Amino acid sequence: MNLKSGKLISVAFVLALAAVSTPALSQDAGWYGGISFGQSKAKDACTGLVGLGITCDDTDTALTLFGGYQINKSFGAELGYVNLGEVSATGPGGTATIEAKGFELVGVGTLPINQQFSLFGKLGFFRWDLDASAPGVSISESGMDLTYGFGVKYDFTKNFAVRAYWQQYKDVGDEATTGTSDVEVIGLSAVFKF
pLDDT at 2: 47
Using the predicted structure, report yes or no on whether residue 10 has a pLDDT greater than 90.
Answer: no
Identify whether 4 is part of a domain: no
Range of the domain at 91: 26-193
Using the predicted structure, report yes or no on whether residue 45 has a pLDDT greater than 80.
Answer: no
- Number of domains present in the structure of the chain: 1
d(CA 163, CA 35): 10
26-35, 96-105, 120-129, 139-148: range with lowest mean pLDDT: 26-35
More confident residue, 44 or 16: 44
Identify whether 8 is part of a domain: no
Identify whether 15 is part of a domain: no
b/e burial code for range 170-188 (CB count within 10 A of at least 16 → b): ebbbbeeebebbbbbbebe
pLDDT at 179: 84
Structural contact between residues 124 and 147, judged by C-beta atoms closer than 8 angstroms: yes
Identify whether 134 is part of a domain: yes
Provide the CATH number for the domain around residue 118.
2.40.160.20
Identify whether 16 is part of a domain: no
Average pLDDT score over residue span 113-117: 93
pLDDT at 11: 45
Q: What are 68-94's pLDDT values in tens digits?
A: 999 999 999 999 999 999 999 888 888
pLDDT at 14: 42
pLDDT at 136: 86
Identify whether 10 is part of a domain: no
Phi, psi of 93 (to 5 degrees): -90, 0
b/e burial code for range 48-68 (CB count within 10 A of at least 16 → b): ebeeeeeebebebebbbebeb
Using the predicted structure, report yes or no on whether residue 44 has a pLDDT greater than 90.
Answer: no
10-19, 66-75, 119-128, 137-146: range with lowest mean pLDDT: 10-19
Identify whether 78 is part of a domain: yes
d(CA 60, CA 121): 23
pLDDT at 48: 66
